[in-house]
Amino acid sequence: MKFPDAVSPLQKLEGPLLDEKEVSLYIKRDDLIHPEVQGNKWRKLKYNLADAEKLGHKTLLTFGGYYSNHIYATAAAANKFGFSCIGVIRGERPEALSSTLLFAIEKGMQLHFVNRSEYKQKDTDPFIESLHQQFGDFYLIPEGGTNNFALKGVAEIMDELPTDFDFICSAAGTGGTLAGLVAGLKGKAQAIGFSSLRGDDTLTGRVNELVKEYSGKSFQNYAVNFDYHFGGYAKATPELIQFIKVFRQQFDIPLDPVYTGKMFFGSFDLIQQGYFPKGSKIIALHTGGLQGWSGFNELEINPAG
């Protein structure tokens, strides 16, 4: 199995605020890893796919919602590396499929819709057994791709970064990416995860559990920030959309409205507030997710709502 092994670029951002606050800010462009298998989704899938192949599985099965970046990336990666693939989708089959799900079908993913109460059972043995009865053998990748293999893939980012930075910022959903960063840091520097979900106060503890399960160790050098969810998952405000527009004009870098837009908004706001000591070297991880715009536009999310 051949994985893209090109190292994603690290770019320095320049601007008056950064000068004024005397901090340096770099962006790790994981959005450029692959047009379809982007960012943290690639990092998280990589060793799962390698394990599936090693164990001789021909089929992958995973879980997600109508607009899931993980479903999108898994469908594309399965296609690229010659696996069959099943997506267990949360909710009844809608009349009009989202462009994320249409893309998944185009890549050969078989969609299996389950209602929300069934979906809640997805990690239980009886539910997984029923999936095996229906679909035969498969390699199971959990929702969002978060497991020990995901942490291993994310932790590898450290091999691609300079060693002298002070902070690394990332968007957080399930917390798998943040946990991978914490595992990779091994106690040095500080990781900040910006939660895209509202009021998910279990996240901080969950990251600790994930890191412990992966490395057998606990680390204190991370924090989850809950101040920039903009109303919650897949919600936005005109202020956030405006920020993403200006960011693109200023740096020529696209951000997505679900994750990376919020993380960068939060990072700049913390810089403005003087959160980072003078002389800090900050790395912000662009986790990709640019396909998220399609669902955002289809939903015609009222940016005021």
Ligand X SMILES: *Cc1c(COP(=O)(O)O)cnc(C)c1O
State in angstroms the smallest separation of the CB of 69 from ligand X.
3
State in angstroms the smallest separation of the CB of 116 from ligand X.
19
Query: How many helical (H) and strand (E) elements, i.e. helices and strands, does the chain have?
Result: 12, 10
Nearer to ligand X, 135 or 251 (CB): 251
CA distances from 239 to 9, 228, 230 (A): 28, 11, 9
> Which residues face 64 on adjacent strands?
89
Nearer to ligand X, 21 or 292 (CB): 292
In the block, tokens 């009865």 appear at 133
DSSP string for residues in 230-242: TTSTT---HHHHH
Which of 202, 134, 206, 199 is CA-nearest to residue 177?
206
State in angstroms the smallest separation of the CB of 35 from ligand X.
14
In the block, tokens 């890893």 appear at 33
Nearer to ligand X, 21 or 28 (CB): 28
Residue 181 and residue 191 in contact, taking contact as beta carbons nearer than 8 Å = yes
State the angle between helix axes of 99-106 and 69-81 in degrees (0 to 180), rounded to the nearest 10: 10
Count CA within 13 A, CB hemisphere, residue 93. Answer: 7
Nearer to ligand X, 70 or 235 (CB): 70
State in angstroms the smallest separation of the CB of 256 from ligand X.
6
State in angstroms the smallest separation of the CB of 259 from ligand X.
3
Question: Which residues in this chain contact ligand X in the complex, by CB under 6 A?
Answer: 39-41, 69-70, 144, 146, 171-178, 256, 259-260, 287-289
Nearer to ligand X, 24 or 38 (CB): 38
Nearer to ligand X, 33 or 78 (CB): 33
Percentages helix, strand, coil for the chain (3-state, rounded to 5) are 45, 15, 40
State in angstroms the smallest separation of the CB of 10 from ligand X.
18
In the block, tokens 């790790």 appear at 28
State in angstroms the smallest separation of the CB of 20 from ligand X.
28
- How many angstroms separate the CA atoms of 270 and 153, rounded? 28
3-state secondary structure of 245: helix
Nearer to ligand X, 87 or 289 (CB): 289
